[in-house]
Chains A and B, each alone.
Chain A
Amino acid sequence: MTYRASCPTRRAFLAQSALGLAGTAFGAYSLHAETRLLSARSPHPVSASLPDPIPAEQFRAFATHAIDAARRAGASYADVRVAERHVLSMEMASADLLRLQTTFTYGVRAVVDDHTGFAYGRSPTHDAIVVCAHNAVRNARIAARLSARTSRQFPAWTPAPPATGEWHSPMRIDPLAVSVQQHFELAHAATMAVGRMPNTQASITPAWLRETRVFAATTGALTTQYVTRGMFDATGSAQFGLGAVAVQLPELQWQSAGVELLLPPDLPERLRTEVESVMPLARLPIGSIEVGRHPIVLDGAMMGNVLTTLIGPSFELDRVLGLEVDAAGSSRLTLDALGTRIMSPLITLVGNRTPPSISAVQWDDDGNVPQEHTVVKDGVLVDFHTSAHTVAALGEWYQRQHRPLQSNGCGVAIEAQESVHVRMPHVTMRSGGRPMSLDDLCADMGHGILGVYNARLTSDAQLSSGTFPTGTFFEVVRGKPVRRIAGTVLQFSTFPFVNHLKAVGDASTVATWNDMVPKGFPWINVPCSATAPAALFGQIDAMNP
């Protein structure tokens, strides 16, 4: 590769459709109230600000061109992801600003002697993607040559069965077809409904992603996926001078869906009801809790946070195999732990990438159909989150289980120009079989700590411990929250903590947590999510900083 500018004389690919032209339309709006109204009144659909859509056949031809180039250059396997994405976000805190960003990117992966090379680009020309494919093959050759001098080998590449076809994620109302005015009206409705109540506030800040992604591989795979995702922030909170206690509507989570999510007419009212439900907690006095070990009840959202931040990534097989040691980190789990009990028998965890989860796809970025897979069954480790690059490490285990050697479909390149990593799918923790509300769990606990909804959670590079440096925690005495805890840090060791699970809430306590989780190098944030019931744990360490 030479360091030079993209050649200005290249014939533009798809020039007539203005591919590669991206707009941050609707401009920069004033901070003044009057101009906010002006911006919100635009009756035009968002799509009016975009170039004409590109026919999918042209994307596919572009992708196939890369595959042919990689094959001719000597790749034993190659795949390519080509994607055009529109991200629509509304900034409502200080100004009504609608931001629309369009990107066109691609990434080519080549395999030579079981070693991968990767190259990416943004220039939508045939010449550019051919160069990209050649660079990927060259990088794979270098990787193979350098690695040949060492004895240890990565798991063999396990290509996906060749698939062809199209898939649309479920979406009834396209966010790009909705007028700017309506986007703002929907977002303001809940805010205003809750805002009329004293000591409360609410906000819905929508962000939408629309992506067309083509995957092609030398196996003959050629798929096109049209994905729409809502990643809005929708919260309500109550506050009486001691810091807000926040809640969110279960149905307003990040998910693969369209604007229909915001249309139910009773949505503002239900958000208002949710906020009212936490007002008693918000009114509690503030205090401290004795330093030491306490039992704790985590509500569904906070349990989802534990799954998204600590537990779910621990099952990513590239972490387990040590492939991320110098980057995102490793895992406390090893292949030897398969078939053994690693957490409380009350816990069963299932991964899936089906709608409406935020990670829903028909084919992952290796071309595999994602499989719903149980990683922990009644506390016993039975599987990991896998990709085409890693699943071969489970060959022996799968053989003993009489399972075919096939990835669970957790290969993710969140943007086409990123390399593929194993990312946790949506993880669901099974709720308890008998009626057990959040109040019941607190009553069972007697004395201890209750954590609800809003807390940051940090960990270490091996995900072996967790710390809640802040959050909405309450001291529970005789089964009732009596004061809000301030100035206390809560810490735990991940697997001993989940091993001390005492009770699980019923379906009424189930909630979903979403977060952006970084991985890879250079790092890239990927939206991850988990659904869980509330849970009572035997012990957590309370410390006074």
Chain B
Amino acid sequence: MTREQMEALCRRILSMSTADGAYLYILHTVRSVTRLASDQVRSADDGDTLNVFLGASYGNGCFLSVQTNQVDDEALRALVARADALGTAAGPPQQLLVRQWDEQDAYMPVQLWHSSSVDAITSARETVIPPMIQTVRQHQLQTSGFIGIMARSEAILTKEGIHAFYEETDCEVSITARPADGTNSGWAGAAARDWRTLDVEQVAAAAAAIADRGRSPQAVEPGRRTAILGPGAVVQLMRFFALHFSGGWADKGQSGFSHVNGRHISIKWRQQLFDPRVNVTTDPADPDGGFRPWFQQGYADRPTIWVDRGVLKTLARGIGSIASGKPYAEMPFGLRLHGGPTTLDAMISQCDEGIYVNRVSGLECIDWSSGMITGTTRDGCFLIKNGKIDRSTKNFRFLMSPFFLLNNIIAIGPTARTAFGYTPPTIQEQSREVGDPVMSIWDWPRRPMIVPPLMVRDFNFNALSDAV
């Protein structure tokens, strides 16, 4: 829905409401997902969903919300009547937990809607899938993967005239190439707001090249080694790093940014925690990603520096912190880990001996105070010797903390928006919510992350993994 359509719908509903205070939240999503397995289209799904939430407060202090997915007059009248009936029949006054709408926040202008992506929802399947499969098949490999395209618009409007609107498109391609016997695999992915910027054949070629090179993997002794982490690996590690910026958890000592000394817990402000080349920011208008410039009930989200030259600058505080005079900030689910000049090829050429890791999965945080994570490599793991890829290796299980990793950087590469592929949120991610995880990490697509490849020393590959 366009801004005008949404605002007109909001005004229609608000004109019917007799509540003392009321706000409307409208979410319209169109999504197309095509999944492939073994060169076949496993499923092709389409969906178009609309939700209208009416929040209303009444003189007796009751606040409630009702919801509908119909927008004809009859259904909207029923919606408002339902709210009125529940609201006036409610019990004694209750303290409101909703925002008191006293002023309109100013939002950053963002341009995250691309008509090319909207067009691709209906047209992309037939145009990109055949060449994608063909590209992989040239290597005697089979294609599995998905193409997901989404268009979403949201609006908030209150009886007092406060309004917020946002629209975005997003696209992601994920391709796993495997030989028919399934003995190894290669993965590549790409994600973008604008479908035209995705080169699906190039993604397919990259996945196939990794799988091709990864045939007949051999076991290599685990241990602490130099690692070159592709963006697909870095983005998964940063997913967990982002969780440490929860101010509430840091206050409890449950973050790598906490310093716990007996019963005294402090935050590691003004300390050189990471390599000085490490900078972490979020920006709703980030040209490679970007995200909604407001969250929850219309609070503005602004550019934020989280780590500046290796020093912690900001922790995420919920809107509840406003009462105590502290600034709020949404969790950095859409962070940018700033890059450097060293390309992946240059990293490999300057590596005497190390492991190239294309992607990791199965991540779980073991210890929040140190940030220690366990996980496994997958879809492309290679031994590097004397500046060249020597051979394909079996996968490893690893133990690594992002706090250790970002302190052991040898080289940083150029950044790019990086695809997540299949990455459902862990329970840990869901528990560290500040802001709106439903729209950020719970569902596909996740909020964009922009990361570089990294070359690091002493990465702890602690065991071999049997998994392909």
Contact = CB atoms under 8 A, between A and B. Distances in A.
Interface stretch (B68-76, B226-234, B285-293): B68-76
B283 to A, nearest CB: 26
Given A3-B118, A15-B74, A326 B463 contact: no
A523 to B, nearest CB: 4
Contacts of A20: 68-70, 75
A136 B48 CA distance: 13
A1 B92 contact: no
B20 interface: no
Nearest to B421: A326
Nearest to B379: A461
Nearest to B142: A152
Contacts of B221: none
Contacts of B71: 5-6, 8
Contact of A521 (B69, B146, B367): B146
Given A8-B71, A12-B72, A325-B178, A117 B44 contact: yes
Contacts of B365: 469
DSSP class of A's interface residues: helix, strand, loop or mixed?
A: loop
Contacts of B424: 518, 523, 525
A102 B53 CA distance: 12
Nearest to A462: B467
B37 interface: yes
A21 B78 contact: yes
Interface stretch (A203-211, A327-335, A399-407): A327-335
B43 A325 contact: no
B126 A142 contact: yes
Interface in B310-362: 361-362
A122 interface: yes
Nearest to B468: A462
Contacts of B86: 23, 25, 49
B467 A464 contact: yes
A5 B5 contact: yes
A493 B395 CA distance: 13
A104 B69 contact: yes
A394 interface: no
Contacts of A417: 47, 49
B15 interface: no
A33 interface: no
Contacts of B118: 3
B443 A522 contact: yes
A23 B64 contact: yes
Contact of B146 (A28, A135, A326): A326
Q: Interface residues of B toward A: which range?
A: 35 or more
A22 B67 CA distance: 5
A307 B443 CA distance: 26
A467 B90 contact: no
A419 B378 contact: no
B82 A146 contact: no
A460 B361 CA distance: 7
Contacts, number: 284
B238 interface: no
B94 A465 contact: no
Interface in A48-89: 49, 51
Nearest to A24: B65
Nearest to B151: A3
Interface stretch (A35-43, A157-165, A171-179, A379-387): A35-43
B38 interface: yes
B333 to A, nearest CB: 16
Contact of A324 (B37, B187, B367, B462): B37
Nearest to B145: A326
B466 A469 contact: no
A192 to B, nearest CB: 23
Interface stretch (B27-35, B192-200, B258-266): B27-35
A5 B50 contact: yes
Nearest to A104: B69
B280 interface: no
Contact of A139 (B46, B62, B98, B185): B46
A545 to B, nearest CB: 5
A488 B440 CA distance: 33
Contacts of A119: 45-47
B133 interface: yes
A42 B64 CA distance: 15
A491 interface: yes
A369 interface: no
Contacts of A139: 43-46
A464 B467 CA distance: 5
Contacts of B412: none
A42 B374 contact: no
A4 B1 CA distance: 6
A116 interface: yes
Given A142-B125, A523-B422, A523-B444, A461 B362 contact: yes
Given A21-B68, A118-B43, A332-B466, A15 B121 contact: no
Interface string B72-105: 1011001100100010001110111110000000
A325 B178 CA distance: 9
Nearest to A30: B95
A249 to B, nearest CB: 22
A81 to B, nearest CB: 14
A22 B50 CA distance: 13
A151 B151 CA distance: 34
Contacts of B148: 521-522
A23 B46 CA distance: 26
A8 B52 CA distance: 13
B465 interface: yes
B422 A327 contact: yes
Contacts of A5: 1, 5, 28, 50, 71
A456 interface: yes
A124 interface: yes
B376 A460 contact: yes
Contacts of A541: 463
B70 to A, nearest CB: 5
A8 B62 CA distance: 30
B208 to A, nearest CB: 14
Interface in A86-101: none
Given A152-B40, A326-B146, A469-B366, A545 B372 contact: yes
Contacts of A25: 64, 66, 86
Contact of B374 (A9, A152, A489): A489
A322 interface: yes
Interface in A117-139: 117-125, 135-136, 139
A116 B36 CA distance: 12
B161 interface: no
A143 B37 contact: no
B109 interface: no
A235 to B, nearest CB: 15
A115 B36 CA distance: 12
A4 B363 CA distance: 39
A323 interface: yes
B381 interface: no
A464 B62 contact: no
A491 B463 contact: yes
A39 B64 CA distance: 13
A196 interface: no
Nearest to B79: A21
A10 interface: yes
A124 B70 contact: yes
Contacts of B41: 115, 142-143, 146-147
A124 B63 CA distance: 27
B96 A461 contact: no
Given A6-B69, A491-B397, 16 more contacts: A2-B122, A3-B118, A20-B68, A21-B79, A22-B66, A24-B67, A38-B91, A102-B67, A118-B44, A123-B70, A124-B70, A322-B37, A458-B363, A461-B376, A461-B467, A545-B374
9 contacts: A8-B71, A22-B68, A25-B86, A119-B45, A462-B468, A464-B467, A465-B376, A465-B466, A489-B399
Closest 3 A/B residue pairs (Cβ): A139-B44, A30-B95, A143-B41
